[in-house]
Amino acid sequence: MDDFTICKNALSYFNFELTQDLYDEGTNKSVKACISKLDQAKRKVQHESSWSFLVQKIELKEEVNEESENVSKMGYSHSFNLPTDLLIITKVYTKEPYQRIAGQILTNDSSIEVYGMLNEMPSNLPLDFEDLISLSLAFIIAPVVSPLSKEVMDQIVNQYSWTVEALINSDLATRSK
C-alpha cells in the first residue's frame, strides 16, 4: 500500500473522498494533515510490537579506529556502528557480553549478529498492518479533520484496538510455527 492509499483510507473515516489530484495538490487542510503526520502514524504502529515481518538482520560496520577511546577504556576489543535509522534492537546473538553505547555496540565477539527494525519498512507488508497505519493516521489527524466528532474518534480507537490485537496474535502464531 502506498502513502496515497493510506491517506485515502484514513480520510474515509471522516467521509472525505481523497482523489489522486487532491493528494498531489496537497493544499487541502485535511490532506496536508495526512501527509505531514503519515511518518508519525507509521512509527506509532511500528512500536506497537516487535513485528516479525519488520525484523531483519542489521548490517554492522566495525569501527576500525585504533585510537577509539570508547573501546579501550571500556575493555572491549570490537566496536560496531549501528545504522542511524535503527528503531529497535530485538535480538543480539553473541558469545561474549556486549554493551550498547549511543550508536555503537561494544563487545569482544567479532561475529556478533544483531536483529531489529529500521525506519524503512519493506514494501510487502500484511494488509492488516497497512490498515493499522491508516487507523493510526486517522486518530492523529482527527482534531484537524473533525474536531468535534467523539463518535468517529471512538470508532477509530475501537477499530485500532481490535486490529492491533488481531495482528499481534496472528504474528505470534506465525512465529510459533
71 and 110 co-located in one domain: yes
pLDDT single digits (tens) 89-101: 999 999 999 999 8
Which residue type sits at 53?
A: F
Q: Which domain holds residue 43?
A: 3-50+122-175
Per-residue pLDDT at 65 exceeds 70: no
112 and 126 co-located in one domain: no
63 and 113 co-located in one domain: yes
Is the pTM higher than 0.85? The answer reads no
Cα 92 from chain centroid (whole Å): 19
User: Which candidate, 96, 65, 95, places its Cα nearest to that of 80?
Assistant: 65
128 and 114 co-located in one domain: no
Q: Specify the higher pLDDT residue, 176 or 101.
A: 101
7 and 44 co-located in one domain: yes
pLDDT single digits (tens) 35-46: 999 999 999 999
169 and 143 co-located in one domain: yes
- What is the Cα–Cα distance from 58 to 82, expressed in whole angstroms? 8
pLDDT of residue 73: 55
List strands edge to edge, sheet with 113-118.
56-58, 113-118, 86-93
* Cβ atoms 68, 100 nearer than 8 A: no
142 and 171 co-located in one domain: yes
